[in-house]
Amino acid sequence: MLALGKLLELTLAGHEPSAKIQLTPEGTRLRWLAEGALEVTPPVTCDNGQDLLLSAGIHGNETAPIELLERLLQGIARSQLKPCARILFLFGNPEAMRRGERYIEQDINRLFNGRHDQHTGNEALRACELEHLAANFFNKPERSRLHYDLHTAIRGSKIEQFALYPFQEGRARSLRELARLNAAGIEAVLLHNKSSITFSAYTYTQLGAEAFTLELGKARPFGQNQQVNLDLLEQQLRALIEEREEIAETSLDGLTLFAVSREVIKHSDAFTLHLPNEVENFSELPVGYLLAEDLSDTRWVVDQPGTRIIFPNPKVKNGLRAGILIVPAEDVQLA
């Protein structure tokens, strides 16, 4: 196996490889760009015009997606997986990965779309570097651009594998991409209704990629992900990389679409979230339920039937999102 196929090992050890470029016998090029960043370029005769960004480890303790990317990259380095697409593999927060922590000082996934300019520290610098790496990768015209940012969640979920689809004014969601997610085992997609500061929102709005945050189960340490079944996603990614997909482009059977009803923003240390600590993502809340309170008599009361909660977290910093209220999506514009 080519040494650059051991990107995870290099990243966890904090080592920079001496050889920055390696070729497989078939002519696929592996190029080390920066810590946790490796570009794969297929031979010109095999290139199908697809640029695929695969990122994981934006939160360092979300290891199942990191292990998935390692398997894909090692398959390429062993010539067992023969790409027809350009691929950029990114491990987002190397220091947090090494420590087994979600983040060190700041949540990197709240530092994109210019937000890192308002902060200092290594994670703000890393968010800036990730934007530059993505922008340089997606700089070739007339190519298809796709970004999957892979995560696992802090808590359990009634719908275990789901995606978040960023928002851009006037831009329709892609039926083909939703069908592709459906084929990969994604059970639900949350359609955002305003711009965001996540990595996938940056590549979607600023770089013109189709981009998704994928939540793939519950976060566990390295080597303890036996309960996180990523078989369908891995099969779909392998087929996408080798250009042998077989998906029903108009079939969304079994895929549920949700829309954001409201975001719950923590404004002060007085914020109180009226939910059990063990509440699961996608738990349904009854109309009239007092969900949260904050200063100045700020209250969040459930006012729509079918409302569910995702990402409840009262421990976030003031000014950040402490939960999202979602409802079944209606009249979705697809292209």
pLDDT of 220 reads 79
- Burial (Cβ within 10 Å: 0-12, 13-18, ≥19) of residue 256: middle
pLDDT digits (tens, 9 = 90+) for 268-291: 999 999 999 889 999 999 999 999
- Using an 8 Å Cβ cutoff, are 262 and 300 in contact? yes
| Active-site annotation holder among 123, 177, 215, 280 | 215
Between CA 153 and CA 156 the distance in angstroms is: 7
Which residues in the chain land under pLDDT 50? none
Question: Which residue do the tokens 């398997």 mark?
Answer: 71
- Predicted local distance difference test score (pLDDT) of residue 159: 94
Residues 11, 35: Cα–Cα separation, whole Å: 6
Q: Determine the distance from the C-alpha atom of residue 102 to the mean position of all C-alpha atoms in its chain, rounded to a whole number.
A: 14
pLDDT of residue 45: 95
Under a CB-based contact definition with an 8 Å cutoff, are residues 200 and 213 in contact?
Answer: yes
Q: Residue 114: its pLDDT value, please? A: 86
Domains of the chain are: 3-241 (3.40.630.10), 261-328 (2.40.50.630)
pLDDT, position 245: 86
Q: What per-residue confidence (pLDDT) applies to 296?
A: 85
Confidence (pLDDT) at 87: 98
117 DSSP 8-state letter: G
Tokens standing for residue 318: 């003031």
Residue 169 bears catalytic tag: no
Please report the pLDDT score of residue 13 as a whole number.
97
* Max CA pair span of the chain: 66
Q: How far apart are CA 181 and CA 173, in angstroms?
A: 13
